[in-house]
Structure 1
Amino acid sequence: MEKTRKAPKGILGFPVTPFKENGSIDEKGLARNIHFLLEEGLEAIFVSCGAGEYNSLSSKEFESTVELAASEVKGKVPVYTGVGGNLSESLEKAEISARCNADGYLILPPYLIEGEQEGIYEYYKTIVRSTDLDAIVYQRANAVLQLEHLQKLVEFPQVVGVKDGIGNMDLNVELTQTIGDKIGWLNGMPMAEVTHPAYLPLGFDSYSSAISNYIPHISRMFYEALLDNNQQLVQELYQDVILPINRIRKQRKGYAVALIKAGMEIAGLPVSKSVRPPVTPVEKEHFRQLEKIIKNALEKYPRNTKTLA
């Protein structure tokens, strides 16, 4: 039978990679993070991607996280990995992903070099063709395909989706309205809840949620309010939770990752604030600000009572 390919829809979980004080990976913490996201109903798990500090992981560490994720998820939802940067390392991680029974991978930009459209296309094509796994192209930084070359790329059956991380709405309109539902469209903007009302009408039916690692019920509430056109709830969640957290996130470079770990610690999840350079931990004052926001959010929008096993 021909493999059915499709990009995940809904809210996508991007677990962090927890580190112990000695710098090694806390596998028990990662397993519990993934289990928490599954319990909260997230539609896919993207392990060792940007939030998972994939750029700082050795091949051995990457393999251990992928094995753990596949074992923890047990086929309940798709498991994607993050590959990117150096082409040879990307191909190695793509092969590891296939060997460890991942469903696909998110292809992040190549390291540093800014290539012409044909070069970016060849970069993506080389990785896509290296395995039979589903592939999602991440439009970000120095790897943004325009219509002509993206149309060529989506002819490969492995390509199931495009994730946008640049916010060029002129380009997004051209891509979505020309290519249509041949592939899935994912909102990958930082703090994607902020921009998703603009993305939803274009056909972007999923987004990666940083806050889902510690207040996933808020992300779910927001997403469903958008689908139900509940503008009052959308506005309240913006004012009470989403915009205040986003203001902190923009205070320092690297907070896209570090702030997630801080939020998880505040919410009582077993992850230390340890990060790997060049990311730095959240500063004390910003931590206190985030703590206040989360406390108020949990009081006004209490989560359903669930017990983590």
Structure 2
Amino acid sequence: MQTKEIPTGILGFPVTPMNDDLSIDYVAFQRNIEFLIENGLESIFIACGAGELHAINIEEYEQLIVKAKEVVKGRVPVYTGVGGNITTALQQTKLSAQHQIDGYLILPPYLIDPSQDGIYEYVKTIAESTPLNAIVYQRDNCILTLDTLKKLANIPQLKGFKDGAGNIETNVEFTQALGDRFVWINGMPLAEVTMPTYINIGYATYSSAISNYIPYVSKQYFEALQNGDKEKVKEIYDDIIFPIHHIRKQKKGYAVSLIKAGMEIIGLPVSNNVRPPIAPVEPEHYEALKAIVAKAKEKYGNLKGDGSYVGN
């Protein structure tokens, strides 16, 4: 019987910190996770997109699981990212089950643009490979039709659906047809931008990149959104969300490297090092982010944990 926890609230996606030689800094990784938990994130997803799953080997992957469990100690659910090469994905699910985490997020397959029956078999094979909870991530070359998602809904292990494609018409069809069968997760880049739309069609949770360095902003934003405080939502949009969104769009790969830059700015032991093909943040964009973070600290700051400060 599956008893592992299903993710709710704002979901934390820690990065995989790198040393100057691009080896993994596991101490900084644990500090990242502790920081997210101390600041109220309700689940942790390691080695996913923000964690550079594409760039880590299977030995590093297992070590990330071990280090995550050491610091989490059962306080929140822990999920891993799996996917890409199907053989590697099954190695990743096996390790996730072996280390008794809560579940995994199924990322798109590598390179191939599959048919719907191909996507179904890919997700089914991964989801059924262990008894752990599974969440399918719709984005890039893993775009589902309603018929495919209905078929996948028959798989008991599949508990959640995360959308990173942004087709609202399709998402309305999904949530209306399947209701509470899945946990519906907004996984769009900088999900705070689109969350007002998603929350109105049944998405009650989202993954937050900026929570890695300004989690109090995400918390205040989401509380305002849930409470119908449109003025507060607009204020946070204008002050923080849209300015960061503008920087993020300046260069491909910033969905990862901009997070690391923000963490370095607030004093966490995470450098702006990323493995190719992702590139680090340009100096002018780094300074622009630094100014936004300073404004966030002054106006909204209530940070706990490593590199900590308590604002107004």
How does 1:1-309 map onto structure 2 within 5 Å?
2-4=1-3, 7-304=6-303, 306=305
Unpaired runs of at least 5, structure 1: none
| 1-structure distance, mates of 2:267, 2:148 | 45
Matched letter for residue 32 of structure 2:
N
Change (3 A) 1:160 1:305: closer
Matched letter for residue 185 of structure 1:
W
Size of the alignment, in residue pairs? 308
| 1-structure distance, mates of 2:255, 2:156 | 32
| 2-structure distance, mates of 1:83, 1:8 | 16
Q: Which moved more, 1:87-96 or 1:66-75?
A: 66-75
The answer to whether the 8 Å contact 1:5/1:160 transfers is no
The answer to whether the 8 Å contact 1:82/1:105 transfers is yes
Change (3 A) 1:241 1:142: same
The answer to whether the 8 Å contact 1:86/1:111 transfers is yes
The CA RMSD measured in Å over matched residues stands at 1.2
When normalised by structure 2's length, the TM-score is 0.96
| 2-structure distance, mates of 1:5, 1:33 | 23
Q: In percent, how many aligned pairs have the same letter?
A: 55
Matched letter for residue 91 of structure 2:
E
The answer to whether the 8 Å contact 2:215/2:303 transfers is no
Matched letter for residue 265 of structure 2:
I
When normalised by structure 1's length, the TM-score is 0.97
* 1:227-270 CA distance string (max 9 Å, x none): 11011100000000000000000000000000000000111111
Q: What's the CA shift for 1:308?
A: 6.7
* 1:179-201 CA distance string (max 9 Å, x none): 00011000000000000000001
Q: What's the CA shift for 1:3?
A: 2.7
Q: What's the CA shift for 1:24?
A: 1.0
The answer to whether the 8 Å contact 2:26/2:64 transfers is yes
Matched letter for residue 116 of structure 2:
Q
The answer to whether the 8 Å contact 1:114/1:142 transfers is yes
| 2-structure distance, mates of 1:68, 1:307 | 17
Q: What secondary structure does 1:274 align onto?
A: coil
| 1-structure distance, mates of 2:116, 2:304 | 50
Matched letter for residue 256 of structure 1:
A
Q: What's the CA shift for 1:152?
A: 0.9
Q: Which moved more, 1:70-79 or 1:253-262?
A: 70-79
Q: What secondary structure does 1:106 align onto?
A: strand
Q: What's the CA shift for 1:305?
A: 5.4
Q: Which moved more, 1:152-161 or 1:252-261?
A: 152-161
| 1-structure distance, mates of 2:243, 2:307 | 28
Q: What's the CA shift for 1:304?
A: 4.8
Q: What secondary structure does 1:38 align onto?
A: helix
Change (3 A) 1:153 1:223: same
| 1-structure distance, mates of 2:136, 2:71 | 25
| 2-structure distance, mates of 1:154, 1:297 | 41
Unpaired runs of at least 5, structure 2: none
The answer to whether the 8 Å contact 1:264/1:271 transfers is yes
| 2-structure distance, mates of 1:219, 1:260 | 14
* 1:86-127 CA distance string (max 9 Å, x none): 100000111111112211000000011011100000000000
The answer to whether the 8 Å contact 1:121/1:153 transfers is yes
| 1-structure distance, mates of 2:228, 2:90 | 42
